């Protein structure tokens, strides 16, 4: 069976790696990797994403096809199955839009690139209603909860959704035995380690929609707290889109990035941009995260975590809200410090709660999701029905955490010393100012603006579901 994996970002390789390995080791399969750019509209990002994919596969010694390098073209019937890991046609070259690929292969599979937890109409369209998700032969789901969200939000319903577990989660099976990069271990030392995951949607254009980031709210306080407390290691793992967002917003100049890295290291802050997030998961003691995959994925470690909720955020979807009942919620720097201090004092004593959450939100954590996906492809080709993971017997209630103790004394973090950390301090000043502007903008704009913004978003998403018309308009406007 000829299977083509469409690979666009190195950090997404983890999403399909175990499935590819299962097929590579099975003589019934002939899997191939195809390197494609991510963010097709940006030439710079295109080059960077393709280059990073090539480096990753070269380092792993994996053969791959590359349209830019070897002129690869997808011909009809050359492959039986195409596996998509990103649903967005606009992020791929036009020749690899979903409808054009689907016309040339027998079956298409969508393996989600993340674990969606964010709310908001536009985000629901991104996560459940792109052509890839609507028309794929099969969508692979982590849980029956996720399948229910497709039933609610996908125009095609959930009849094509198969609850097999995600290959991504195979990588976290036995995470406690994972060998951490010695360089990260050395940077952390024996300090209590807080993993901070920040989303990129903090900018001005997200003031009235698709905001999932608390970065502009927390950056000054957390960076200052870390600099003031050298016995705590803050491991900052930003979303891959965060630095481009800083550049686009004019908050950081690209030529100051190297200086920023140096200042973070001087402050004892560890910037983690490894393609493999397991290093940071294993090395950390707790996680604080904006809405995103980590909010559920970190449960695999059995360690404490907190949800970062920013003023004006879209918030969490139905599954995220269910999880929120069992974890801490942080809304400002004072909350963040209280959470860190409480977790440091309770170090290693609260694991049972998180193990319970893991059982509910991460079923099928047996390391075999990739094999189940490979078996499903065999079933597809032979017209058989694939057995899914069993549905939960009940929805056991989750007890709430006690609220963060507001009476606990939290000394205010000093502002960063601009003479010692000029770039970092300047960035924090810009982020504070941005947050104030966003608050003013939200207060000034009324219901009419929200309604018009929602209408534009609905029209845009409707256009994406008509790929031929979308390509015609893109050509007419010179964007294709």
- Are 13 and 7 in contact by the 8 Å Cβ rule? The answer is yes
Predicted TM-score of the model (pTM): 0.82
Q: Which residues contact 447 (CB under 8 A, 6 or more apart)?
A: none
What pLDDT, on the 0 to 100 scale, is given for residue 397?
41
Task: Report helix, strand or coil for 154.
Answer: coil
pLDDT value at residue 457: 66
Q: What is the pLDDT of residue 312?
A: 81
Q: How far apart are CA 416 and CA 403, in angstroms?
A: 29
109-143 burial: b if 16+ Cβ within 10 Å, else e: bbbbbbbbbbbbbbbbbbbbbbbbbbbbbbbbbbb
CATH node for 2-171+367-382? 3.40.50.2000
Contact 36, 114 (CB under 8 A): no
Residue 338's pLDDT is 94
The pLDDT of residue 80 is 98
- Inter-CA distances, 360 with 155, 295, 355, Å: 27, 14, 9
Give the pLDDT confidence score for residue 216 in this predicted structure: 95
Query: pLDDT, tens digit, for every residue of 365-401?
Result: 899 999 999 999 999 999 999 999 998 765 544 444 4
pLDDT value of position 310: 85
- The encoded tokens of residue 263 equal 């200042």
Helix ranges (DSSP H) in 240-394 = 242-248, 257-266, 278-283, 294-297, 318-324, 333-345, 351-361, 369-382
pLDDT at res. 398: 43
Contacts of 293 (CB under 8 A, 6+ apart): 114, 115, 116, 117
Q: How would you classify the pairing of strands 138-141 and 192-198? A: unpaired
Non-local CB neighbours of 106 within 8 Å, separated by 6+ positions: 80, 81, 381
Per-residue pLDDT at 40: 54
Question: Which pLDDT belongs to residue 58?
Answer: 94
Angstrom CA distances, 401 to 233, 323, 353, stand at 25, 11, 10
Pick the CATH number of 176-362+415-440 from 3.90.550.10, 3.40.50.2000, 3.40.50.300, 3.30.1490.20: 3.40.50.2000
- Return the DSSP state at 118: B
Name the residue with tokens 């770039």.
423
Cα–Cα distances (Å) from 248 to 205, 242, 256, in that order, read 11, 10, 14
Q: Which residues make up the CATH 3.40.50.2000 domain(s) of the chain?
A: 2-171+367-382, 176-362+415-440
Radius of gyration, CA atoms only, the chain: 22
Integer Cα distance of 101 and 87 in angstroms: 13
Q: Evaluate whether 285 touches 333 at the Cβ level (below 8 Å).
A: no
DSSP symbols for 3-56: EEEEE--GGGGGGTHHHHHHHHT-TT-EEEEEE--SSTT-HHHHHHHHHHHHHH
| pLDDT less than 50: residues of the chain | 396-402, 407
Report the pLDDT value the prediction gives residue 399, as an integer from 0 to 100.
Answer: 41
The per-residue pLDDT for 199 is 95
For residues 177 and 98, give the distance between their C-alpha atoms in angstroms, rounded to a whole number: 38
């Amino acid at each position: 069976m000829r299977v083509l994996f469409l690979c666009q970002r190195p950090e997404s390789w983890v999403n399909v790696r175990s499935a590819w390995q299962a097929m590579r080791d099975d003589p019934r399969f002939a899997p191939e990797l195809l390197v494609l750019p991510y963010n097709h509209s940006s030439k710079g990002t295109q080059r960077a994403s393709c280059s990073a994919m090539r480096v990753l596969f070269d380092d792993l010694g994996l053969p791959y096809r590359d349209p830019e390098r070897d002129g690869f073209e997808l011909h009809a019937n050359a492959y039986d199955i195409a596996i998509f890991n990103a649903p967005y046609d606009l992020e791929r070259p036009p020749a690899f839009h979903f409808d054009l690929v689907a016309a040339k292969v027998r079956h298409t599979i969508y393996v989600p690139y993340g674990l969606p937890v964010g709310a908001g109409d536009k985000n629901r369209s991104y996560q459940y209603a792109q052509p890839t998700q609507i028309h794929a032969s099969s969508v692979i789901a982590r849980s029956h909860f996720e399948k229910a969200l497709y039933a609610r939000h996908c125009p095609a319903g959930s009849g094509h959704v198969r609850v097999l577990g995600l290959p991504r989660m195979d990588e976290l099976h036995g995470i406690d035995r994972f060998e951490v990069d010695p360089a990260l271990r050395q940077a952390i030392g024996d300090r209590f380690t807080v993993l901070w995951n920040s989303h990129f949607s903090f900018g001005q254009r997200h003031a009235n929609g698709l905001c999932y980031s608390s970065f502009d709210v927390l950056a000054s306080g957390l960076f200052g707290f870390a600099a003031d407390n050298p016995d705590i290691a803050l491991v900052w793992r930003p979303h891959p889109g965060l630095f481009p967002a800083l550049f686009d917003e004019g908050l950081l100049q690209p030529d100051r990035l190297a200086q920023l890295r140096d200042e973070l290291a001087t402050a004892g802050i560890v910037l983690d941009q490894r393609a493999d997030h397991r290093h940071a998961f294993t090395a950390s003691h707790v996680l604080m995260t904006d809405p995103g995959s980590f909010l559920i994925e970190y449960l695999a470690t059995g360690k404490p975590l907190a949800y970062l909720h920013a003023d004006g955020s879209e918030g969490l979807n139905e599954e995220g809200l269910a999880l929120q009942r069992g974890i801490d919620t942080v809304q400002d720097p004072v909350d963040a410090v209280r959470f860190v201090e409480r977790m440091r004092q309770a170090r290693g004593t609260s694991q049972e709660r998180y193990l319970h959450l893991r059982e509910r939100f991460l079923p099928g954590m047996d390391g075999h999701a990739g094999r189940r996906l490979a078996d499903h492809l065999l079933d597809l080709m032979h017209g058989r029905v694939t057995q899914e993971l069993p549905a939960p017997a009940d929805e056991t209630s989750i007890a709430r955490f006690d609220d963060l103790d507001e009476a606990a004394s939290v000394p205010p973090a000093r502002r960063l010393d601009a003479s010692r950390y000029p770039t970092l301090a300047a960035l924090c000043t810009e982020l504070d100012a941005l947050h104030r502007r966003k608050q003013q903008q939200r207060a000034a704009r009324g219901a009419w603006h929200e309604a018009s913004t929602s209408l534009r978003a609905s029209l845009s998403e409707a256009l994406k579901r008509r790929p031929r018309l979308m390509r015609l308009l893109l050509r007419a406007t010179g964007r294709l």
